[in-house]
Amino acid sequence: MVVQLYLDLLSQPCRSVFIFAKINSIPFEFESVQLCNGDHFTEQYGKVNPLRKVPALKDGDFALAESVAILLYLSRKCNTPDHWYPSDLQKRARVDEFLSWQHTSIRPNAGIMLWLKVMIPMTLEKTCPAEKLAAAVETLNETLQQFEDKFLQDKAFIAGEEISIADIVAYSELMQAFFAGHDIFDGRPKLSAWQKRVESKIGQDILDEAHKMIQNPKQMTVSQTALEAYKVRILKLLQ
């Protein structure tokens, strides 16, 4: 049975799932959930994912939320090559370690760049305060250093010499900051080399398809419903 994936490719977790499914030739139906249109607030989507977040998966009557859970489900259901989620105990532990860490590190600290550099000007029609942006950049730089020192070290990929789910997740999260206009790879040769290795494994066709919506985030349009929800979040960021 072909799974249904509910995605908005502006979302970094959605891009992780999309890239993983594409690179493994996993058949799926793309169900578009446009956050900027407020699609996640609809009654119809609430029946798929009561959390009203993306991505989500439906496999027949089975529904699943949260990108990491979806990635692991797909890897097991579709019996993807072992390197994605290694059977080797210690390599798998490295993947699990990163997936646990990224929720409170790379994801918020890279993702906030889109809010500060794009969403604030779009919704409030003013630029982010310089001190708020500088503090966010400092925190992101600390996170990038931790990623290099702890997770990359001198390896080709996070779990060793082969790409894994962890690399797909890390790449998608970091590119959110890059496309928001913050070049996270500048002055970081180790990170830049890892980026190129990941991209060579994914392939340009998949990258182009995954990034076509996020490449020009300042051209996004936001519905009134989504705008009101975003304003609440943005005002909290500016406190």
Is residue 109 located within the same domain as residue 216?
A: yes
- pLDDT of 51-94, one tens digit each? 999 999 999 999 999 999 999 999 999 999 999 999 999 999 99
Residues 214 and 119 sit within 8 Å (Cβ to Cβ):
no
Q: Supply 79's token pair.
A: 């019996």
Read off the pTM: 0.93
Q: Which two tokens stand for residue 150?
A: 């702890």
List the CATH number of the domain containing 151: 1.20.1050.10
Q: Are residues 224 and 182 in the same domain?
A: yes
**pLDDT score, position 44:** 94
Say whether both 64 and 161 belong to one domain.
no
What CATH number did the domain enclosing 64 receive? 3.40.30.10
111 and 170 together in one domain: yes
**Domain end position, chosen among 83, 109, 138:** 83
Same domain, 103 and 38: no
Which of 41, 65, 83 is the endpoint of a domain? 83
Please tell me whether residues 98 and 170 are part of one structural domain: yes
Q: Where are the alpha helices (DSSP H) in 26-129?
A: 43-48, 67-77, 89-102, 106-114, 120-124
Task: Yes or no: say if 28 and 58 are a contact pair by the CB < 8 Å rule.
Answer: no
Asked if 121 and 174 sit in the same domain, the reply is yes
Confidence band for 230, pLDDT divided at 50, 70 and 90: confident
Number of domains in the chain: 2
CB atoms within 10 A of CB 91: 20
Domain residue limits at 32: 3-83
Give 110: exposed, middle or buried? Use CB within 10 Å, 0-12, 13-18, 19+.
buried
Q: What are phi and psi of 167, to 5 degrees?
A: -70, -40
Q: What is the pLDDT of residues 2-41, one digit of tens each?
A: 999 999 999 999 999 999 999 999 999 999 999 888 899 8
